[in-house]
Structure 1
Amino acid sequence: MIALTVALTCASVIEAKTATSKITERSKHKQIAETERTELQQKLNSLKTDINQTETAKSNAADALADSEAAISKANQSLFDLGSEQIRTQATLNKFFKKHVVLSKFVTAQQTQMATLLRQQYLAGNEDRIRLLLSGENPNQINREFQYMGYVSKAQAKLIGALRGNLQAVEVNQAQTQNAKDELDEITLEQRDQKTLLEKEKNTRAGLLKQLSSKLAAQRKEVGKTKRDEQRLTSLLDKLAILIEAQKKVDAILREERRQEQLAKVQAAALANAQAQIKAQAGLALALEQQRQIQRDALTKKSTIAEARQRTSTKVSSFTPDPIDDDQPPTQTVIAPAQAPTPLAPATPIAQNEKASETSSPDTIYGKPFASLRGLLRLPVRGDLMSRFGSKRDDGPASRGVFIRAPEGTEVKAVAAGRVVFADWLRGFGNLIIVDHGNEYMTIYGNNQAILKHPGNVVVKAGDVIATAGNSGGNEQSGLYFEIRHQGRAFDPLSWVTTR
Structure 2
Amino acid sequence: MPFTKSAGSALLCTLLAVALSGAFSSDAWAQRQTERSRQKAAAEKQRAGIQQKLEAIKRDISRTESAKEDAADTLAESEAAISDANRALRDLDAEQGETNTRLQDLARQGAELEQTIAAQKKQLGKLMREHYVAGNEDRIKLLLSGDNPNRISRDLQLMAYVSQAQARLLDSLRGNLAQVEANRDKVENAQQELEEIAQEQRDQKALLEKEKARRAALLNTLSGQLTDQRKQASRLEQDEERMSGLVDRLARLIREQAEAERKRQIALAAKAKAAAEARAKAKAEAEARARALAQARAKAAAERAERERIVRQNAKPGAKQEPLPVPREEAPVIVEQPRPVEKPVETAPPPEVTLAPAAPAGAFAALKGRMGAPISGSVVARFGGRRGDGPTWKGTFIKAPEGAEVRAVAGGRVVHADWMRGFGNLIIIDHGGEYLSIYGNNQTLLKRPGDTVRAGETIASAGNTGGNEESGLYFELRHRGKAFDPAGWVRF
Quick one: which amino acid aligns to residue 56 of structure 2?
Answer: S
Larger displacement relative to structure 2 (370-379 or 281-290): 281-290
**Which residue in the other structure is 2:194 paired with?**
184
Q: Contact 1:383–1:405 (CA<8 Å) still a contact in 2?
A: yes
Partner secondary structure for residue 397 of structure 1: coil
Preserved contact between residue 298 and residue 333 of structure 1 (Cα < 8 Å): no
Aligned equivalents of 1:111, 1:41: Cα separation in 2: 58
Deviation of 1:437 after TM superposition, in Å, equals: 1.8
Task: Spell out, residue by residue over 1:451-499, the C-alpha distance to the aligned partner (whole angstroms, 9 max, x if none).
Answer: 233333x543323333232222112232221111122332222321247
Helix, strand or coil for the counterpart of 1:176?
A: helix
In structure 1, the partner of 2:251 is 241
Quote how far apart the aligned CAs of 1:164 are.
4.6
Q: Does residue 397 of structure 2 align to residue 400 of structure 1?
A: no
Q: Which amino acid aligns with 2:242?
A: R
1:422 alignment counterpart: 416
Alignment pair present for 1:483 and 2:466: no
Residue 228 of structure 1 aligns with an amino acid whose one-letter code is Q
User: Shift of residue 363 of structure 1?
Assistant: 8.2
SS at match of 2:390: coil
Measured on the aligned residues, the alpha-carbon RMSD in Å equals 3.9
Are 2:422 and 1:412 equivalent residues in the alignment?
A: no
Partner in structure 1 of residue 453 of structure 2: 460
Q: What is the CA deviation profile of residues 19-51 of structure 1, one whole-angstrom value per residue up to 9, with x for unaligned ones?
A: xxxxxxxxxxxxxxxxxxxxx999766321110
- Which residue does 1:268 correspond to in 2? 278
For 1:370 and 1:228, locate their aligned partners in 2 and report how far apart those are by CA, in whole Å.
29
Return the alpha-carbon distance in structure 2 between the equivalents of residues 405 and 121 of structure 1: 83
Superposed, 1:154-173 pairs within 5 Å as 154-173=164-183
Whether contact under 8 Å (1:44, 1:243) holds in the other structure is no
Contact 2:361-2:433 at 8 Å conserved across structures: no
What SS does the aligned partner of 2:436 have? strand
Instruction: Report the secondary structure of 1:244's partner residue.
Output: helix
- For 2:465, what is the secondary structure of its paired residue? coil
- AA aligned opposite 1:215: Q
State the AA in 1 paired with 2:94. S
1:231 counterpart SS class: helix
The whole-number CA distance in structure 2 between the counterparts of 1:399 and 1:454 is 27
> Residue 187 of structure 1: CA displacement?
0.7
Report if aligned partners of 2:358, 2:413 keep a CA contact under 8 Å in 1. Answer: no
Aligned residues: 414
One-letter amino acid of the structure 2 residue matched with residue 244 of structure 1:
I
2:465 to 472, 477, 481: 472
**Aligned residues of 1:72 and 1:449 also touching (Cα < 8 A):** yes
**Residue in structure 2 matched with residue 27 of structure 1 by the alignment:** none
Q: How much does 1:290 deviate?
A: 4.3
Deviations 1:49-75 (CA, angstroms, capped at 9, x unpaired): 110111164311100111111212222
Structure 1 letter corresponding to 2:221 = Q
Residues 43, 243 of structure 1: 8 Å contact kept = no
Residue type at the aligned position of 1:465? T
Rounded to whole Å, the distance in 1 between the matches of 2:228 and 2:180 is: 69
Higher helix share: 1
Correspondence for 1:343: none
- Gap change, CA 1:114 and 1:252, over 3 Å in 2: closer
Q: Give the residue type in structure 1 aligned to 2:430.
A: D
Asked whether the 8 Å contact 1:431–1:448 carries over to 2, the reply is yes
Q: Give the share of equivalent positions with the same residue, in percent.
A: 49
Whether 1:59 aligns to 2:53 is: no
Shift of 1:119: 5.6
Q: Secondary structure at the match of 1:494?
A: helix
Q: Cα 1:126–1:380, aligned 2, differ >3 Å: closer, same or farther?
A: same
Counting only pairs closer than 5 Å after superposition, residues 41-52 of structure 1 correspond to structure 2 as 46-52=56-62
Partner of 2:338: none
SS at match of 1:206: helix
Aligned residue identity for 1:455: P
TM-score, with structure 1 as normaliser: 0.71
Tell me what 2:238 maps to: 228
Letter in 2 for 1:443: S
Q: For residues 235 and 468 of structure 1, what CA distance do their matches in structure 2 show?
A: 25
- The answer (yes or no) to whether the contact 1:432–1:446 under 8 Å persists in 2 is yes
The reply to whether residue 96 of structure 1 matches residue 100 of structure 2 is no
TM-score (norm 2): 0.72
SS in 2 for 1:421: strand
Secondary structure of 2:371 counterpart:
coil
Matched position secondary structure for 2:475: strand
Q: Distance in 2 between matches of 1:236 and 1:130?
A: 91
Matches of residues 67-466 of structure 1 in structure 2 within 5 Å? 67-117=77-127, 138-141=148-151, 143-284=153-294, 286-287=296-297, 290=300, 324-325=316-317, 365-366=359-360, 368-456=362-450, 458-466=451-459
Q: Is the 8 A contact 1:422 1:433 kept in 2?
A: yes
Matched residue SS, 1:395: coil
Is contact 1:375–1:497 with CA below 8 Å preserved after alignment?
Answer: yes
State the distance in 2 between where 1:285 and 1:137 align: 84
The alpha carbon displacement at 1:389 in A equals 2.1
Structure 1 residue ranges without an equivalent (≥5): 1-39, 310-323, 336-361
Distance apart, 1:165 and its partner CA: 4.1
Q: State how far apart, in whole Å, the 1-side matches of 2:168 and 2:324 are.
A: 81
Cα separation, partners in 2 of 1:45 and 1:255, compared to 1, 3 Å: farther
Secondary structure of 1:434's aligned partner: strand
Could you report, residue by residue, the CA deviation over 1:395-429 in whole angstroms, capped at 9, with x for unpaired residues?
A: 22221211223333333222112222222221100
Q: Kindly provide the amino acid, as one letter, of the partner of residue 207 in structure 2.
A: L
Structure 1 residues 487 and 122, CA gap change in structure 2 (3 angstroms): closer
What does the per-residue CA deviation read over 1:359-389, in whole Å, with 9 as the maximum and x for residues that have no partner? Answer: xxx8894374322211111112223333222
Q: CA deviation at 1:114?
A: 4.4
Deviates more, 1:368-377 or 1:76-85: 76-85
**Matched-pair contact (CA < 8 Å) for 1:298–1:332:** yes
Q: What is the alpha-carbon distance in structure 1 between the residues aligned to residue 124 and residue 322 of structure 2?
A: 96
* Aligned-partner residue type, residue 424 of structure 1: D
Structure-1 residue corresponding to 2:15 = none
Letter of the 1:275 counterpart: E
Tell me how far apart the structure 2 counterparts of residues 296 and 72 of structure 1 sit (CA, whole Å). Answer: 100
1:93: how far off?
A: 0.8
Contact residue 220 and residue 394 of structure 1 kept, 8 A: no
Partner Cα separation in structure 2 for residue 255 and residue 123 of structure 1:
77
